[in-house]
Structure 1
Amino acid sequence: MKREDLLVFWGTESVTALYGETIVIPCNDGAPVPQHLMFVKWKYEKDDGTPGDLLIKQARNEQATVQATDSYAQRVSIDDKFNLLITQASLKDQKTFTCMVVSHANLMEFPVSVLVYSKLNIDTKHYNNLGTCVAAEANPAATITWKKNGKALVDDGKAIVITPSLKLDPATGLSTTSSTLQYAATKEDVGAVFACVSTHRLTSQETELEPFPIHYPSEKVSLQVMSKGPVVEGDNVTLKCHADGNPPPSSFYFHLKGEKMLVQNSDTYTLNAISREAAGEYKCSLADNEKVEASQNILVSYLDLSLSPTGKVLKTVGDSLSVKMEKIASGDATVLWTKNGKAVKEPEFSKLSYADAGIFVCEVSLTGLTRHQSFELVVEGKPVITSLTEHSTGDAQHKVLTCEAEGVPEPSFQWSVNNTNEESSYINGKATHKITVIPRLNMTITCTVSNKLGEDVMTINVSSVFEEKNGKSGKNPQDDSKDQAKLIVGVVVGLLFAAAVVGLVYWLYIKNSRQGSWKTGEKEVGTSEESKKLEENNHTV
């Protein structure tokens, strides 16, 4: 190869690497190598300006030969695209590295300058009204600025003081930048967000500080009644006094209906079993400044209910009953009456009936309060039969008698005839009793009902089932009564007729007897005494 055949091209490129990582330096910006390549060689410029060899790779040899004898001997390698690889990048690697490409026709060199940057390592901390932001081991050095609620803070030497600092590590050449913010906070800064902004050639990071306490004295207090709903008489009511200072005060005065109570290490005071008389204005104030106070008016809900009568009330049917309900409430109360669980109007009883009996409940309600009173009304009375009926069964062999009555307590039934298949019911003072009978003769049947207060009786005429079967069932009970009357009259007339016949026979007998004692045309024989006895006997007859 002749000297004049060599063509040399110089082009300067640059790559950026991160501190501590692997530097990748492309040869000819990654372009394909020329045909008839002989070898590729990487070299660099030493600190004293002299060249130094790193490695060489033959075209036909897969393995590269490391020529470096300094720290690069263990750190350099080459990949299949002829890129130079340098591990564990440091600031000392900020040099110019040259890729020399040799072919049969040409010799080309491609220099590349390397810049090594470090990642930002941001740390923030704060105490009191001071905040510190640190950007450690950076290259090039980072700059730090401060923001409050997104707006830049400027050092004014009074309320805002910013103190920067820069340190260089001679071993690594990395810089550590720090900045301290001193801020005179006011009450308006509560909740403000402070942040430091670290700016680097490669990146910019904004880091918020944790909120720091801002101290200021209390200017206002508020009094709160800790109750989920209306305050009801008998409740325990807790009062809480809150101040806007930071830190909040630990002692308060509670003004309770003319009485002042000092509470230390707490901001609450509890009123136990509050009464209606305790309603009114309450106050709390700062223990060190009683002029800073707050007040709250407490309303106490109460409800009293009085009902007359109560309990079990025993009355007689037809009596009257006066019901009185009185309520005392802190507001408009709602009254609801129920009888046996169903809503009714307020009860009024001028003349009691059995239907009036039941359990009456009066419910009076106010927001958060409910009161109940009740009475059980029992209406008693001796039983009264309301109906007594009979009807025949389908087979015409039996008759069913039904006796209905009203009475409390429950009455008992008694029949004047033997019976079967008794059925009874008792609902709301109404009693029903059914029996089954087989009347073989026309008869009068009596139903008697009784309880501890008295009894009632009713009769019914029942015809014989045999007469009805023989077609005589057309007679009603009144016809049977007429037939019985006719029979009685007939018997009496028969007896009178028989008596008249007996009298006539006796008279004829006496007459015949006299005719036998005196003969016609004969003179009576006998003494005067016999004649006299005979006349007496005749008169006696």
Structure 2
Amino acid sequence: MADHQRLVIDEAGENDAGRYSCVAENVPGRDEKDIVVSLLRPPKMRNDRLQVEVAQNEAQTLTCPIDDRSVQIQWFKDELPVRSNSRVQILNSGRTLHIMNADSSDSASYSCLAKNEAGDDTAYFDLLVLVKPEITGLHPRTIDSISNQTVPIHCRTTGIPPPSIEWYFSDKRIDPSEKYEIVENGTVLRIHNIQSDEAGRYSCVARNKIGEAQTDVFIEVTEAPTFIGAVNEIKIIEGTEKTIRCDVKGKPYPTVTWRKNGEPVGYGLISRGGENLIHIVKARVEDAGRYTCIAMNRGGERRHNMQVHVLVPPKIADGDRVLKAVEGNLLVLECPANGIPPPEITWLKNGNKLNVTGSSLSLPNLSVADDTKYTCEARNEAGSASADYVVDVLIKPRIRDVGTEIRVVEGEKARLECKADGNPPPTVQWLRGAVNEIKIIEGTEKTIRCDVKGKPYPTVTWRKNGEPVGYGLISRG
């Protein structure tokens, strides 16, 4: 402007601030006006984002970091203007934002905008409302399991920050192992091959920086039936008594039933104090068979088979104990022994064991040496029996040391001797002339002689009971 009516300050700085006077003069007089020049600066705040944490239901105040009271301040939440309400208040000419009873919805990015005629600046706050852990699901609270199975326990949680999870069994911390598997960020505990002694209280504990939560689950382990000291084979001697046991364990205690050869057993059953028995008073052969013990509970059904054998002591059937046979013939001794199991047979001759097996003893070509006592012994697991046999070897008569011709002086005494041996001892009969009676043992052979003489030699014929004989005739010399 002409005549210096304008003062221009380029790039005003702190030194340019102050009182300026404008003086106007002319001939008639003079006038003066003071002008105060103030330096306006744009607002300036820190550049870093402030991380702020507050616990749920607690109060939190955010302060805009500027001291200049001349600036205008406005608050934003996630870039939207903040307005005061019953829980959120803007105080101190907008310098502070006060949040009461903070909840998770208050977690956001907050900013305060400070501005004046010279410019503006913004400060940022990241507010995180911390929430104590809460276990929203532990399903189920009571678990029925079966021994040897894998049991999973689920523990769903909430919280800010997300809580860490630990598992406990009867207040003892569980660490991952082959037995315990912890997966899905700790929210699932798997118990492998669970056993009855692992039943009890399991705890899920969730923790973060402002608190913790705990919930318990109780596991009951159903132990499937198992047999204790089971045997596969039982032997009973006929006529004796025997108790067949079926000792089982399980949780809950199993119900026990019996079957014999697939059919229900209705006799001799005893159940007492966890013992399950079949009592056989006097065992019979019919009591033998396959006995099945069936144990059942919620964990399942188990079966155990026991083969019962009734042993019968040997018995040797009655029969002839004195056997007669002719010398030179074959004699077979039979020992009809029965028993369960079939007995083994031993033969003895005069108490001395013979190298013979089986129920028959053959004596070929009988001789005097075979004329003695034989013993059959039958043995099995149930006992023994024996029978004695007397062999009587029949020996046909033999006349020995007899001369065929004796000379005697007429008128003197003559003595004839007939020394005969045989079994049974032969009867000696003296005949003069023809033999009138002949005895033959059944089954043996005999020659009937008819010695004749005459000149010329006679013709000989034979008759039996008056009828001609047409067999066995021998004529010689």
Q: TM-score range by the shorter chain?
A: 0.3 to 0.5
Question: How high is the TM-score relative to the length of structure 2?
Answer: 0.34
Q: Structure 1 length normalisation: TM-score?
A: 0.30
Which one has more relative contact order, counting CA pairs under 8 Å at least 6 apart? 2
